Amino acid sequence: MSVQMDPNLTKVTFTPASGTPITFQERSVQPGGYEGSDKVDVTSSQTTAQANGVVIKAYVPGSFVELTPGGASVLYDPADEVAVLAAVNVAGSFVITFTDGQISTAPGFIRTFVPTSQDTVGATDAWTADMVFEFSGVAVITPAAA
């Protein structure tokens, strides 16, 4: 069975390092984000401050930024399920192609893929799934052609 791709939906393509690209259509996408690392306690006799007789600890920001997971609810072709299973927890790259032509590319892997239901709206006969993907580098954005 082949699911017809709707040109009005954003496409998420994952290519495992050792495999064939798998393309999904988004129903909704949650982009990954950024999270700072834990604060660092630098309290010492030189940095100790007091307020009303209470010693106040001193902190500086952590030095790392962690990429938070992204996710999507997607339409997929059930014929791709074996390829999806083989791609879970495998390093590769994501290419997200937006309907306006903008493209976002980032290294990462599929952490979870959970089929949820069959989408019987229209003639697609596609299935839906919830995905969580981890990023191992910052996305590169290519603007849409003018």
The answer on pLDDT for 19 being more than 60 is: yes
**pLDDT tens-digit series, residues 34-69:** 888 899 888 876 666 666 777 788 888 888 888 899
Q: Three-state DSSP class for 18?
A: coil
Q: Indicate whether 73 and 60 sit together in one domain.
A: no
Q: Indicate whether 72 and 82 sit together in one domain.
A: yes
Query: How many structural domains are present in the chain?
Result: 2
Containing domain of residue 105, as a range?
A: 11-33+68-142
Q: Indicate whether 47 and 58 sit together in one domain.
A: yes
End-to-end CA distance of the chain: 36
**Integer Cα distance of 115 and 24 in angstroms:** 12
Higher pLDDT among residues 22 and 125, named by residue = 22
Per-residue confidence (pLDDT) for residue 118, from 0 to 100: 79
- As given in the structure block, the two tokens for residue 14 are 């994952």
Residue type for 42, please?
Answer: V
